[in-house]
Amino acid sequence: MDRSLFMGGLPKTTSRRGFLRACAIATAAMGLPMEMVSKVAEAAEDPKRPRVVWLHFQECTGCSESLLRASHPDLANLILDLISLDYHETLMAAAGKQAEENLDKAVEEGNYLLVVEGGIPLKDGGIYCKIGGKTAVEILKKAAEKALAIIAIGTCAAYGGVQAAKPNPTGAVGVQDIIKDKPVINVPGCPPNPHNFLSTVLYYLTFKKLPPTDKFGRPLFAYGRKVHDHCERRPHFDEGRFAEQFGDVGHRLGFCLYKVGCKGPETYSNCPVIRFNDVEVWPVSVGNGCYGCTEPNFWDTMTPFHKRLPNVKIPGGKGIQASATEIGKAALGVTAAALAIHAGVGIAKKLATGSKSEE
């Protein structure tokens, strides 16, 4: 796909061209053939906009923030144009009682997409997260009843996130641990890439069903491949060229960040391909290893973030090339010794017989 799609940014108001561009990006992100762009665009411009209720629980609003960041206004515009956002605590004008009424009204009417941001505490009756006097779990269960489908945006909503890290004092869990009778799709990440969220929504609008997922409920088009397999520093890994610590020569030369803790070999996401903020960056491209933030319980399983993955043997010990060079030098030494012995024996024989030895 044309990189300039990501590079150029998009105009502030959604032009026809910008609209089709964003649809094309989403189509590509979903792994659909380009012939599908028109279908996706058709679904996106349907005047019957799906209603969306967006709930916030134990979270930092980073997922909403990453979606609305000014660097890609058109993407946010498109998402907000695409859907009828009936309730979103950060964005809506209403507050207090009025806001709660909006939520009650939306939930009453039903047939909406429910987007959940943030983990849900269950311990002590769920009292550690309350909105308008109701616990998070209560609100979620009520809102989920009449929802068409649920999108859990961010690692907190998907798997509990940072508050679910050991010892999980509030008993936080993800949406899928509470809601069992509705289709739940996870778009994890800390934050997740807004393109993946857009693509999930567009997939639902185009096909009227949720995209196929992996065993952790993540859409395969975005989370089907390992970060390590698409990383631009992968050749350095295969060659055994590593940054040994931050700021050293290898780090400055852009070598593999595996030894300074990159979790790319254990993490499934399309970050190296889609990248972030429309300026062609993602953690590894700016010199910091992957934290594995799209994986369940990454706060527990991927920490310490700047240490190597345990039990992962680096091929060839010191790296392929260095190891082969060492062995090559040794082999060359053995060969030289063998030739020297051969020559020595030949000369000795010649001296002993005093004549040209031929055998």
Partner 1 sequence: MAAYEKKYVWSVLLRLFHWTFAPSIFILIVTGLYIHWPWTNTWLEGSHQFTMAVMRWIHFIAGMIFTCAVIARLYLWFFGNKYEKIWDFLPITARNVKNLFSTILYYAYLTDHHEERLGHNALAGTAYFFTILLAICQFITGLYLLYPENGFFVSLGSALFGTQQEARFIHYILNWYFAWFALVHIYIVIWNDIKHPEGLISSIFDGFKFAKKEQ
List Cα–Cα distances, 74 to 16, 134, 195, 222, 272, in angstroms: 11, 35, 11, 20, 22
Q: What DSSP designation does 224 have? A: S
Q: How far is the CB of 66 from partner 1 (least distance, A)?
A: 27
Q: How far is the CB of 316 from partner 1 (least distance, A)?
A: 4
Q: How far is the CB of 359 from partner 1 (least distance, A)?
A: 5
Helical residues (DSSP H) of 182-306, grouped into ranges: 194-207, 220-223, 227-230, 234-239, 249-252, 271-274, 298-301
CA 285, CA 208: separation in Å to the nearest integer? 36
CA 213, CA 200: separation in Å to the nearest integer? 11
Interface positions with partner 1 (CB under 8 A): 225-226, 228-229, 237-238, 265-266, 309, 311-313, 315-316, 320-321, 323-324, 327-328, 331-332, 334-335, 338-339, 342-343, 346, 358-359
Q: Are 275 and 282 in contact (CB under 8 A)?
A: yes
Nearer CB in complex with partner 1: 279/345: 345
List Cα–Cα distances, 252 to 228, 248, 285, 320, in angstroms: 20, 6, 12, 21
Q: How far is the CB of 257 from partner 1 (least distance, A)?
A: 15
Nearer CB in complex with partner 1: 39/225: 225
Nearer CB in complex with partner 1: 110/333: 333
CA 21, CA 247: separation in Å to the nearest integer? 39
Question: Bridge-partner residues for 231, per DSSP?
Answer: none
Q: How far is the CB of 345 from partner 1 (least distance, A)?
A: 9
Q: How far is the CB of 272 from partner 1 (least distance, A)?
A: 14
Nearer CB in complex with partner 1: 277/297: 297
CA 234, CA 135: separation in Å to the nearest integer? 46
